[in-house]
Amino acid sequence: MNKKVALQDLGHKDYKETWDYQETLFKDIVDTKIRNRREAAGLETPNHFLFVEHPHVYTLGKSGDMGNLLVDEKALEAKGATFYKINRGGDITYHGPGQIVGYPILDLDNFFTDIHKYLRFLEEMVILTLAEYGLKAERSEGETGVWLDVGTPFARKICAMGVRASRWVTMHGFALNVNADLGYFDLMIPCGIRDKAVTSLNVELGQKEVNVEEVKAKLLKHFSTLFEAELVREKAGV
């Protein structure tokens, strides 16, 4: 089992460009697994974790409803935003400046072959990180992601998640609102859930801005512990 995970911070990067890069890394792992099966090649499969901040973009998952995007293309253009239909699970999601987006591209054969456990671990990583800021974050039954004040009229989502997995290889991931402009969430029904609000870490802490690098470090610490992984920082490849 290869529990080393190559960490790349891509900085501020276009969504489509990053998606293409994810697909390249994903395909490389899948191709290696296929070769191992066919030829008993015994090659180690790599694991990756990408951090990125995207320009304003809306993405719709395979099972998503276009009706959850509340504006047309022209209105998106006016807001400097783009839109993509993509190959992950889940409904509509927004990415933009002030968000930490994480894409773990892992061969779960190196960890555990359980996609539900994988999602719960990603949620737990965020829950533990937010606890360090004094916030009691939770799961909401039947709704992937991380929430505050679950089960009350004030329930609000702080982290969205949507993944794709094939041959136990994962891609896509999570988006944690840290210093996000929440006005962009008004252009959609987040994840198709009508009756719950969205929030950001800086809003919850009553701060103008939270240190993003500090939040990333906490996320990685909890990721390493939960997945029993060794993170190896690499130069961004895209």
Residue 48 forms part of a structural domain: no
Q: When comparing pLDDT for 88 and 153, which is higher? A: 153
Rounded mean pLDDT, 141-162: 91
Show binding-site residues for substrate. Answer: 88-95, 160-162, 173-175
Show binding-site residues. Answer: 88-95, 160-162, 173-175
Domain of 198: which CATH number?
3.30.930.10
Q: Which residues contact 160 (CB under 8 A, 6 or more apart)?
A: 90, 93, 144, 145, 174, 175, 190, 191
Q: When comparing pLDDT for 32 and 1, which is higher? A: 32
Q: How many CA atoms lie within 13 A of 111 on its CB side?
A: 27
Catalytic annotation present for 159: no
- What is the pLDDT at residue 213? 98
Q: Which residues contact 35 (CB under 8 A, 6 or more apart)?
A: 41, 43
Residue 93: which pLDDT band, with cuts at 50, 70 and 90?
Answer: confident
Pick from 212, 21, 10: which is nearest to 100 by CA?
212
Residue 109 forms part of a structural domain: yes
**Helical spans, DSSP H, in 56-163:** 73-78, 115-131
- What is the pLDDT at residue 211? 98
Q: Count structural domains, the chain.
A: 1
- What is the pLDDT at residue 221? 98
Task: Please report, for the chain, how many H helices and E strands are present, in that order.
Answer: 5, 12
Q: Which of 7, 191, 198, 229 is flagged as catalytic?
A: 191
For the chain, what is the radius of gyration of the CA atoms? Answer: 18
Residue 212 forms part of a structural domain: yes
Residue 9 in this model has a pLDDT that exceeds 60: yes
Tell me which residue range forms the domain holding 129. Answer: 55-228
Residue 63 in this model has a pLDDT that exceeds 80: no
State pLDDT tens for residues 162-212: 899 999 999 999 999 999 999 888 887 755 555 568 999 999 999 999 999
What letters, b where the CB count within 10 A reaches 16 and e where it falls short, cover 171-185? bbbbbbbbbbebebb
Q: When comparing pLDDT for 112 and 91, which is higher? A: 112
